[in-house]
Structure formats: structure tokens, C-alpha cells
């Protein structure tokens, strides 16, 4: 007999005397026993709730020795009758007739014996934490958000473009990159005192990508509207709750979009994702809301209602300067905003998501479109409550001469970027795009506060074991 998903069984409604033959397979969350009955809570990962298995101990197959082997963490298959439940908190349960034990979990050794382990402890057992209710909920939501992301773009005619993970361009994030090499690092070939990368695999030095944007722009200049979605790597040694060394980034890039179109898309996109989560991940959200963050669902709902506040960097600096608020980092025109500043604007001043535009040229990337004032660029960052920056984007500089000029200003070797410059040389067009940190989005959706808890296997300084 085929086994059923616990999620769908829990949704069955049975009338009083109705029953149904079923098989379920999963992992034991808890087992309680009295003299005559064992109650087993079984979870198969299909939903946060477990199904109650009732085993009558008077049945010869459920003798003491056998039942003892079924402990928290064990994997079992249960054949029995799905019946209406008398117990509180569930409408159906399973009267077990046969139980097969696939794998026991030694109670002395299995680390998830009790509920309520700290998230810090669970990070140390990342290989097993997936079996907790919390990580089940987070990972199902993560899955739903990836699906919704694709759906959003696909419904709007965007082409999913696969940009490379290994790149030779170091235009962005110099110093933050992981090198990729097949050279013997103990004894690399040298020429004129320097490592001779011409002998390396690609004939030059190569890195893991910090962003798919530059290649994304090449795609947009051919296909119109594209998006990327893939792993992104930054060797930034920032041990913060908002940075990972390996994270997933989504980068749409659109030909013929100006900054306003870009902002509209970002706003529509974020609301779409939040609404999708509310409509499709309700049980998991309610679980997280009850366990970690009472405000979670209300906060998500407020996003859908909101019209994001749009203002420029210069106005934001004025607000921060006159706020009377004490910040750790000083606010001055020309400096980058820290997350404390971003959160002040969103949570205290506007009490609304904010899209900040027109940042000083010096603190943004070389490819952003220059404004007429000669000082600012057409950047846009979307700032969210409890997160700060969730999206960073801009209209791109489409003018060849201006782009070349800012490459020089930023000390970027234009010879290495000839292929990028070619987009401005041949059939250039106004275009825009942005990058969404997928885990930052998940922090917001799940209410988790550490980015290491919204990705199954986090990579951060000193950690890549699992
Ligand atoms: P931050 O100032 O927070 O470090 P950034 O300016 O370096 O962000 P961008 O280069 O604009 O970020 O990248 C686009 C998006 O990718 C950011 O808005 C953020 O959501 C996400 N992001 C950036 N760095 C990381 C990281 N190390 N881990 C997870 N997400 C990140
Ligand atoms: Mn950064």
C-alpha cells in the first residue's frame, strides 16, 4: 500500500464512525505511554503538525521490547486505521496495526531529545536541525518563496538567465572574493616574483561570483527582461546576523526600464512574495509567529497594505541629522547609511517601507547612471522594517563615455571590462535592475533574526562543516 502524506491526512474530515486504511512514514517526534496505550507523534516534513499514532499495548506485536525501540528521532512506517480523534488539538489520528522500524535513534546519543533547543545550539548540529519544527517551517517557506519568485517573473515574461558562478571579472567587491584555482597553493608557479596565473586553469586568476549583474545586463540587452537566481559568494569577514559568505541572490535586469519602473517592479515583487507567503504558508507562519515573533503576521500584512515611501538620500540625511537620535555611526552627507540609520527611517520616522534613491556617486558602484548634478547616481535601495536593506538596485549608466569615465574614477581597468563596455558601444539602451538577497527576504518573511537560520547549510567565517 502506498503511503500518504501526513499533511493531507490531517486535512481529511471523517464523520463519527468513518475510518480509512492508511500507511504513513516519518520520524518520531515524541512518544508518551500509559499502561495500555502508546501515543506517538509522527512527522514526515510535509507540514509542521505531527499526526498522532495510537498503539494498543495489548496487541502482541507491540510488546515492551518493541515499543521501547520507538523513541524520539526513530524512523518508522505505520499501517493502520485513520479515525476521528477524541484528543484535543487534532481531528484525526491513526490506530496502529503494524509498525515497521526503519531506523532507531539511540536515546543516549540523539541530540534532539527535548523541545526548545536554542537556535545557537541547533547551528552546531545543522545536519539534524532540519528535523526540528522550526527548520521544517523555515525551509518549507524558503521553498515556497523560491517558487513564488520564479512564478512572479515567469508570469511577466522575464527570461531566467543562468549567469556564471566562476568569473574572472573583479569589478565589484574587490577583496571580498573567493579565489578559484587549480594551482598548487603551497608552491605556485611564479614569474617576476608574482604568481603566474597564466598557468592557472583559466589562464588567468578567477573567483566565485559576487553578483550576476554584469552578465545579467548582457542578457537584458538581448532578451529584454531577464532575472538571475543563484548562489553568490562574498568573503567579507563580517560576522553579522545579516551576512553570509554564500547566499542566494535574485537579480532582475530590464531593458528600457528607468529608475521609476525599477522601483515599481521592486515594490510589486516584494508585495507579491509576502502575499504568496500569507496565502500559502499559513500554518508555518503561525507556528513561527507563536514561537518567535508575535508581530510577524501583522507585519507581513502591513507590507501588502503599504505604499512604500520614496525619497532621496539627501532628504534622508536631513531627517537623520535633525532626528535627535543617538547613532553609533555619525550621519554626514557622503557617507553610507548603516543599518541603524536605515531602520530608524523605516521603523521610527516613516513607520513604512522606504525606497531611498539618488545616493552620492562615491559610495555606490561605478555602473550606476549619473545624475545631472554630477554628485549623485540613480541608485535605489529598498529598506524594510527589522531588516534594513533588502534590495539594492539602480538605473545603469548607458552612455559609453560616462561609463568609461567612472571606471577610471573607480580605478577599474577598462581593458578587462571590454565585453561590458561593448553593450554601451553596440545598441545601448536605458536599463535598470536590482538585487534581492534571498535570505534577507526570508528573515523578513519568517521573523528569524539571524541569517544563518534561514538557509539550510550556512557558510560564514570559520564554518563550512555541514
Ligand atoms: P550590505 O550593505 O548589507 O552589505 P550590499 O550593499 O553589500 O549590502 P549589494 O551588493 O547591493 O549589497 O547586494 C544586493 C543584496 O544582496 C543586498 O540588498 C542584500 O539583500 C544582499 N546581500 C548582500 N551581501 C550579503 C551577504 N553577505 N549575505 C546575504 N545577503 C547579502
Ligand atoms: Mn556588503
Domains and CATH numbers, the chain: 6-103 (2.40.50.140), 129-174+210-453 (3.30.930.10), 175-205 (no CATH)
Ligand 2 centroid–CA 243 distance in Å is 8
- Tell which residue, 211, 191, 296, has the closest CA to residue 252: 211
pLDDT at residue number 174: 61
Distance between CA 259 and CA 213 in Å, rounded?
16
The CA dihedral of 263, 264, 270, 273, to the nearest 10 degrees, is -150
Ligand 2 centroid–CA 248 distance in Å is 14
User: Atom of ligand 1 at shortest distance to CA of 382?
Assistant: 18
pLDDT at residue number 466: 86
Ligand 2 centroid–CA 176 distance in Å is 9
pLDDT at residue number 86: 84
User: Atom of ligand 1 at shortest distance to CA of 245?
Assistant: 27
**Going by CA atoms, what residue is nearest to atom 15 of ligand 1?**
437
**With contact defined as beta carbons under 8 Å apart, do 188 and 195 qualify?**
yes
Ligand 2 centroid–CA 244 distance in Å is 10
Ligand 2 centroid–CA 387 distance in Å is 14
Ligand 2 centroid–CA 8 distance in Å is 42
Q: Which ligand is closest to the CA of 460, given by its number? A: 1
pLDDT at residue number 116: 82
Q: What does residue 177 show for φ and ψ, rounded to 5 degrees?
A: -105, 150
Long-range contacts of 404-412 (CB under 8 A, 24+ apart): 406/361, 406/366, 406/367, 406/370, 407/366, 409/366, 410/366, 412/171, 412/366
What pTM, to 2 d.p., does this model score? 0.96
> C-alpha cell of 204?
588567468
Pocket test for ligand 1, best of 245, 253, 389 (most atoms within 8 A of CB): 389
pLDDT at residue number 173: 57
**Going by CA atoms, what residue is nearest to atom 21 of ligand 1?**
437
Q: Give the pocket of ligand 1 (CB within 6 Å).
A: 234, 236, 243-244, 247, 249, 389-392, 435, 437, 439-440, 451
User: Atom of ligand 1 at shortest distance to CA of 251?
Assistant: 14
pLDDT in tens, the chain (466 residues): 899 999 999 999 999 899 999 999 999 999 999 999 999 999 999 999 999 999 999 999 999 999 999 999 999 999 999 999 988 888 999 999 999 999 999 999 999 988 889 999 999 999 999 999 999 999 999 999 999 999 999 999 999 999 999 998 766 656 689 999 999 999 999 999 999 999 999 999 999 999 999 999 999 999 999 999 999 999 987 788 999 999 999 999 999 999 999 999 999 999 999 999 999 999 999 999 999 999 999 999 999 999 999 999 999 999 999 999 999 999 999 999 999 999 999 999 999 999 999 999 999 999 999 999 999 999 999 999 989 999 999 999 999 999 999 999 999 999 989 999 999 999 999 999 999 999 999 999 999 999 999 999 999 999 998 8
Exposure string over 405-420, b if 16+ CB within 10 A, otherwise e: ebbeeeebeeeebeeb
Ligand 2 centroid–CA 335 distance in Å is 14
**Going by CA atoms, what residue is nearest to atom 6 of ligand 1?**
392
pLDDT at residue number 263: 98
Q: Which ligand is closest to the CA of 242, given by its number? A: 1
pLDDT at residue number 83: 97
pLDDT at residue number 115: 80
Pocket test for ligand 1, best of 273, 392, 438, 455 (most atoms within 8 A of CB): 392
Q: What angle do CA 335, 382, 348 make, to 5 degrees?
A: 75
pLDDT at residue number 114: 83
Amino acid at each position: 500500500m502506498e503511503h500518504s502524506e501526513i499533511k493531507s491526512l490531517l486535512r481529511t474530515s471523517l464523520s463519527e464512525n468513518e475510518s480509512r486504511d492508511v500507511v504513513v512514514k516519518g520520524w518520531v517526534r515524541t512518544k508518551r505511554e500509559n499502561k495500555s496505550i502508546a501515543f506517538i507523534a509522527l512527522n514526515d516534513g510535509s507540514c509542521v503538525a505531527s499526526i498522532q499514532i495510537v498503539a494498543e499495548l495489548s496487541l502482541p506485536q507491540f510488546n515492551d521490547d518493541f515499543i521501547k525501540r520507538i523513541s524520539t528521532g526513530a524512523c518508522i512506517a505505520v499501517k493502520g486505521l485513520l479515525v476521528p480523534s477524541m484528543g484535543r488539538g487534532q481531528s484525526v489520528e491513526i490506530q496502529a496495526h503494524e509498525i515497521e522500524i526503519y531506523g532507531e535513534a539511540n536515546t543516549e546519543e540523539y541530540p534532539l531529545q527535548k523541545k526548545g533547543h536554542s537556535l545557537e545550539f541547533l547551528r552546531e548540529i545543522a545536519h539534524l536541525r532540519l528535523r526540528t519544527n522550526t527548520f521544517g517551517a523555515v525551509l518549507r517557506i524558503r521553498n515556497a518563496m523560491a517558487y513564488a519568485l520564479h512564478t512572479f517573473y515567469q508570469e511577466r515574461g522575464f527570461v531566467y538567465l543562468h549567469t556564471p558562478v566562476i568569473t574572472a571579472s573583479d569589478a565589484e567587491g574587490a577583496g571580498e572574493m573567493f579565489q578559484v584555482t587549480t594551482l598548487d597553493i603551497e608552491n605556485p608557479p611564479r614569474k617576476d616574483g608574482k604568481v603566474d596565473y597564466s598557468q592557472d586553469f583559466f589562464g588567468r586568476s578567477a573567483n566565485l561570483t559576487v553578483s550576476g549583474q554584469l552578465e545579467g545586463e548582457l542578457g537584458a540587452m538581448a532578451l529584454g527582461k531577464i532575472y538571475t537566481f543563484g548562489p553568490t559568494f562574498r568573503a567579507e569577514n563580517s560576522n553579522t546576523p545579516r551576512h553570509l559568505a554564500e547566499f542566494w541572490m535574485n537579480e532582475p535586469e530590464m531593458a528600457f526600464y528607468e529608475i521609476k519602473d525599477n522601483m515599481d517592479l521592486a515594490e510589486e515583487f516584494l508585495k507579491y512574495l509576502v502575499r504568496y507567503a500569507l496565502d500559502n504558508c499559513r500554518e508555518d507562519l503561525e507556528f513561527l509567529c507563536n514561537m518567535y515573533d508575535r508581530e510577524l503576521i501583522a507585519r507581513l500584512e502591513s507590507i501588502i497594505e503599504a505604499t512604500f515611501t520614496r525619497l532621496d538620500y539627501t532628504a534622508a540625511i536631513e531627517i537623520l541629522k535633525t532626528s535627535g537620535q543617538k547613532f553609533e555611526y555619525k550621519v554626514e552627507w557622503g557617507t553610507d547609511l548603516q543599518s541603524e540609520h536605515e531602520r530608524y527611517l523605516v521603523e521610527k520616522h516613516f513607520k513604512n517601507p522606504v525606497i531611498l534613491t539618488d545616493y552620492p556617486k562615491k559610495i555606490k558602484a561605478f555602473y550606476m547612471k549619473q545624475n545631472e548634478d554630477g554628485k549623485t547616481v540613480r541608485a535605489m535601495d529598498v529598506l524594510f522594517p527589522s531588516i534594513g536593506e533588502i534590495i539594492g538596485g539602480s538605473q545603469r549608466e548607458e552612455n559609453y563615455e560616462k561609463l568609461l569615465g567612472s571606471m577610471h574614477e573607480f580605478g577599474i581597468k577598462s581593458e578587462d571590462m571590454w565585453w561590458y563596455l561593448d553593450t554601451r558601444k553596440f545598441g545601448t539602451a536605458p536599463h535598470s535592475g536590482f538585487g534581492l538577497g534571498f535570505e534577507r527576504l526570508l528573515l523578513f518573511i519568517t521573523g528569524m533574526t539571524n541569517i544563518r537560520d534561514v538557509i539550510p547549510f550556512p557558510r560564514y567565517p570559520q564554518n563550512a562543516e555541514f
